[in-house]
Structure 1
Amino acid sequence: MASIGSITDVTPGPEALGRARRHAGLLPDLLVESQRIVASVTAGWHGRRRRGQGENFWQFRPFVDGEPVSRIDWRRSARDDHVYLRDREWEAAQTVWLWADPSPSMLYKSAGAGVSKESRALVLALALAELLARSGERIGYPGVLDPVSARNAAERIAAALVTARPAGGFPATERLKRHCEFVAIGDFLDPVEETTARIDRLARSGVRGHLVQVFDPAEEDFPFTGRTEFRDPESGARLTAGRAETLAQDYRRLFHARREHLAEHCRRLGWSFTPHRTDRLASEALVALHGRLSGAPAAAGGRG
């Protein structure tokens, strides 16, 4: 199934036009919310810092065979028995592509969540655009907005999304070039083989990626009991469980195994993976994602 929940939890698939109108109406409020979140977490923050060509000192790190000897810092190396390189900070603007999954399954919102998965994904995308634009990065949105370097990048994305509603599913990524970064925010409930194949292609082309899996608390906890009818929002297929609680243990095991499979696949590619529940603060995911973009390692475990 693409999503879980009672039959009243998800907007029916044929109402695509109504969904698009509601989506457009939400965007101004989501933009304001994203700006509020950014303001709440950026006190004392600076732009992303990373190793590269520049004038400013970045860090010392151990010398590895094959690297230029000219970059060895002999003064630092003389302090102990190790040889160190002196890295500089990368100063050139980088292109970061953002994408929030518009699939029907993202509309799901249980009683335990204050927002739908779609709303949270869009807030995170807009907040990240706001944050990165302040650092001078070039921001793009596949199929919606070509990369721009502007302080109002978040506003431009929101305005473009009002009229350029992307189709569901993974976006077209032909425009993504080597050394750019791609942030995909969605529930990733397509067959896992399809998702891994898509990110494999991007990784082979030299794109560095970050997946943020947004999920409703009911999708992780499976709180359903008694006779419950579930419906796939993508196809309309229905499943009726006479005693839903009997499915809970197997469901939770499969849910966590699937998430761990995606996380491990991302680790093998050098990508980051951030899980995020919609009953948690959006600022938690934003801080974690900013850390991944800055090169910080992911914390072990955690529910996002």
Structure 2
Amino acid sequence: MFKPRPVEARTPDERDSAESLAQTLPPLVLAAEHLVNAFDMGVHGRRRAGTGEDFWQFKRYGPDDSTTSIDWRQSAKREHVYIRQKEQETAETVWIWRDEARTMAYGSETNGPSKLSRATVLSLALALSLSKSGEKFGLLGQEEKASTGPASFNRLVDRIVKMQTPSLRELTSANRLSNKSTIVLISDFLHELPEITETVRHFVNLGCNGYLLHIADPAEVDLPFQGRTRFLSMAAEDSLTLGRVEAVREEYQSLFEAHRAAIMSLTENVSWDYDFHLTDEAAGNAFARLYEALNIRGATK
């Protein structure tokens, strides 16, 4: 299992990033709370028959149904015999990972969100919604066991600030997960496709379900710049100067779309979910799709 490094053990650049995140985290937590509270937590439940404790519906008795499930009181009120079905009970655990690669710090708009801040808000909103619904969650790559409740959410917030998030490649060392785990990876996925494939396949081989939330800045998709432009690498000290950006725009957009299509194809091949989200869109849209895909139980009253 990946052993996270504390803030003190990080490089100067990593410490600066961690300190910056610590300063901005309180408003991000507040934004996550507003996001969850604005979303109707009560209308989406796991509406499937199963062996849980919560009543779902009465169903007319059929030849394949057990006689022990017959509800005689309800049947006495009706013309036919009915059984009582209960809502399916699941024991899934959701493991959350949000990429902290240097490229995630990018934001093209001065007052707009960076990819990292958007990924953090969505991670916190997901954890909070799982906490409210009584389901287990945890940060992927951390040593703590998954748990639920307000204390677990507060601990997750603390871990985001104090511990370094493992890289995409380091996630392959996480191997103590149950086959009922769901993996949520939130990233700009500006990684080589073989690296993404290796990580996804690792969790598939463990029997995990998964959801890839692909976050991008609009400028990364459209390349809207004009004329002579200097591009500084966020992953290294390199830079690239183009005399006429518009001359390469079409080729760049084709390459970006091909990379996105390849990631989408990967998830389809392993029956994982995939969503693409631009930072100039409402965070609530991405959260709603994530919430629906994970089929989170409505909040307990």
TM-score by length of 1: 0.78
- The corresponding residue for 1:3 is none
Q: Deviations over 1:112-162 (max 9, x none)?
A: 771000000010000001111111110110233430121343322111222
Q: Following TM superposition, by how much is the alpha carbon of 1:233 offset from its aligned partner in structure 2, in angstroms?
A: 1.4
Per-residue deviation, 1:100: 0.7
> Is residue 101–residue 118 contact of structure 1 (8 Å, CA) maintained in 2?
yes
Partner SS state of residue 210, structure 1 = strand
Q: 1:103 to 1:227 in 2, by over 3 A?
A: same
Q: Letter of the aligned partner of 1:126 in structure 2?
A: L
CA distance in 2, matches of 1:169, 1:115: 22
Residues in 1 aligned to 2:153 and 2:48: alpha-carbon distance in whole angstroms:
23
**Equivalent residue for 2:148?**
149
- Which position in structure 2 is the counterpart of 1:120? 118
Q: Is the 8 A contact 1:107 1:118 kept in 2?
A: yes
* Structure 2 counterpart of 1:290: 291
Q: Which residue of 2 aligns with 1:269?
A: 270
Distance 2:31 2:58 in 1: 36
Cα displacement (A) at 1:277: 0.4
Native 8 Å contact 1:209 1:271 kept in 2: yes
1:290/1:219 CA distance change after superposition, 3 Å: same
Are the counterparts in 2 of residues 230 and 239 from structure 1 also a CA contact under 8 Å? Answer: yes
| CA RMSD, Structure 1 to Structure 2 (Å) | 2.7
- Aligned pairs for 1:1-304 (under 5 A) are 15-42=13-40, 44-49=42-47, 52-54=50-52, 56-57=55-56, 89-111=87-109, 114-144=112-142, 145-170=144-169, 171=171, 172-294=173-295
1:205-248 deviations in whole A, cap 9, x for unaligned? 10000000010010111101111111221222221111111111
Residue 80 (structure 1) aligns with: none
Task: For 1:269 and 1:59, locate their aligned partners in 2 and report how far apart those are by CA, in whole Å.
Answer: 36
**What is the alpha-carbon distance in structure 2 between the residues aligned to residue 230 and residue 14 of structure 1?**
23
Partner of 2:146: helix, strand, or coil? Answer: strand
Contact 1:224 1:245 in 2 (8 A): yes
Instruction: Work out the CA distance in 1 between the residues paired with 2:131 and 2:51.
Output: 21
Answer yes or no: is the 8 Å Cα contact 2:56–2:86 preserved in 1.
Answer: yes
Tell me the SS of whatever aligns to 1:212: strand
Structure ID, larger Rg: 2
Q: Take 1:162 and 1:43, find their aligned partners in 2: how far apart are those partners?
A: 27
% same residue: 34
What whole-Å deviation, never above 9, does each CA across 1:82-108 have from its counterpart, x for those lacking one? xxxx98632244211011111110000
The change in CA–CA distance for 1:242 and 1:98 in structure 2 (over 3 A counts) is: same
- Would you say the 8 A contact 1:50–1:294 is kept in 2? no
Q: Where has structure 1 moved over 4 Å in runs of 4 or more?
A: 46-52, 55-60
Structure 1: segments with no counterpart, 5+ residues: 1-12, 61-68, 74-85, 296-304
Alignment-mate amino acid for residue 221 of structure 2: E
- Report if the CA contact (8 A) 1:47-1:135 is conserved: no
Number of positions where the alignment pairs a residue of Structure 1 with one of Structure 2: 263
Shift in CA distance, 59/214, structure 1 to aligned 2, threshold 3 Å? farther
Q: Which amino acid aligns with 2:216?
A: F
| Aligned position for 2:299 | none
- Whole-angstrom CA distance in 1 between matches of 2:57 and 2:232: 52
Amino acid at match of 1:187: D
After superposition, the Cα gap between the structure-2 partners of 1:24 and 1:167, relative to the gap in structure 1 and judged at 3 Å, is: farther
Q: Secondary structure at the match of 2:97?
A: strand
Take 2:278 and 2:58, find their aligned partners in 1: how far apart are those partners?
35
In 2, Cα distance between the equivalents of 1:87 and 1:240? 65
Q: Which amino acid aligns with 1:189?
A: L
Normalised to the residue count of structure 2, the TM-score between the two structures is 0.79
Which range moved further: 223-232 or 144-153?
Answer: 144-153
